[in-house]
Structure 1
């Protein structure tokens, strides 16, 4: 089993960029206060979003004004704890049903939604199930992306977090542990992840910053260049996707704060 341990910023270049100022481009629907992910597919102009644990089994399509243009029920799935979205080059959408707040869950799943469109009302998902490798304790997972036909899932930890690798194939798999890593500083929980269309840049979201990973080889993501982009405010940011030189971010609506769709232009 391939396993790369990097408990400190070893073999990496860590640079801190100037503070980012995400621009609010839309208010999200108040009927969706707990949006936990955002993704854009290659075959739709909509932003696809979901809500996390305790909410319904629907996938919503939003336009850039935040208006709901699609509402799709996933008929054969329950929202145990939907945490993130990713997509493939063919326009298919994947839901990460792997949230684990109490850290008792040991079986997880990824749902494949074939080419979602605004006209769809109901879909049947395909399932990729996975369990943890031996000697890996249950963690809370909130972030993933698809790269070279494998899913990379990140645990939500303030200190050392792990990265798992799962093949994009229906059926049941044992995840592969590929790294353990720690960002410098405190409060570094990863809440969502995204990868650029060319596979050269990765974005890992936190409530008050986003990390950009680049210049890595294969899936040694933390052995390249790591840049931190601090935001000018802190809210419960839970979703990120990247489109060309821009990232789009969502935050939950709590205590009359957040509930927005943000756009941040990258250098």
Structure 2
């Protein structure tokens, strides 16, 4: 009988240790799952910023020129502003429906409230008549059926024309994970159409190119081309002379050259690494040789393009 208390203590200790080990394993498993989940698209705002800054500083032609922190929440695109020294940017899905006019170094010039919802704004471009086109077509899981582009003049920002569209080749919402190539974070105006460049979240390493008319209505987008892009496209910019297209990715960009728009869409993309620059989301040409690039973390860069 004297051994019973001792055996009870041993049993209790063993039970406690077993529980602790199980909880530890569960915690490790949870952390592993979290890390894997966070790594699906790569880290959004993590990483070693000191190493990233050092890597960005080593990129030939890249120069940090300012910051959008406290000015534009989660900058997701760039477009020409009201003057040659200003640009428009905006926050992506979940932020207010506002365009922010900024200087070349990220100083706020003015804020413009747009009379439309920000379901998931991802891109912005301008035509030759001064109309702006806001791509309200972010579609991370390929489930949206309310994809649209807003056409607006900024002298009357509460009057918004609605360009609704759907993809001709999407029949499931969502399709299987390997077929999810219906997220669009890059668009631009060219020749009477708004051109959409998809961000492949499947397995094809392809950015599909679609076109929709630039005036309000409801359309089935026309599939025009498929580009071999080994990355996820986050913005698009066309050089002022119309002979170079840049597709921005996360920490990289792709260059397509051609004598015409049709030639550009047939060109083989050249890949350029911007590793360390952050989650690059916005790009606009300052001139024929220079891009202004914004990141979701709030950095603003100038990049001199290679020939």
Corresponding residue number in structure 1 for 2:236:
193
**Residue 80 of structure 1: CA displacement?**
0.1
Corresponding residue number in structure 1 for 2:206:
160
1:246 corresponds, among 290, 301, 304, to 290
Could you tell me the TM-score, scaled by structure 1's length?
A: 0.81
1:18-167 to structure 2, matched below 5 A, reads 20-41=60-81, 45-75=85-115, 77-114=116-153, 116=154, 122-135=157-170, 139-157=182-200, 159-167=205-213
In structure 2, C-alpha distance between the alignment counterparts of 1:134 and 1:237, rounded to whole Å: 29
Structure 1: stretches of 5+ with no match in the other structure: 1-17, 254-258
Is 1:176 aligned to residue 215 of structure 2? Answer: no
In structure 2, C-alpha distance between the alignment counterparts of 1:34 and 1:172, rounded to whole Å: 29
In structure 2, C-alpha distance between the alignment counterparts of 1:51 and 1:20, rounded to whole Å: 28
**Residue 220 of structure 1: CA displacement?**
4.9
Q: Which moved more, 1:220-229 or 1:124-133?
A: 220-229
**Residue 226 of structure 1: CA displacement?**
2.7
Looking at secondary structure, tell me which structure has more helix per residue. 2
- Indicate conservation of the 8 Å contact 1:20/1:230, yes or no: no
- Residue-by-residue CA offset, 1:33-83 (whole Å, 9 max, x unaligned): 3110011147564210011000101111001231111111112x1100000
Higher relative contact order (CA 8 A, sep 6+): 1
Structure 2: stretches of 5+ with no match in the other structure: 1-57, 174-181
Looking at secondary structure, tell me which structure has more strand per residue. 1
- Indicate conservation of the 8 Å contact 1:216/1:222, yes or no: no
Q: Secondary structure at the match of 2:233?
A: coil
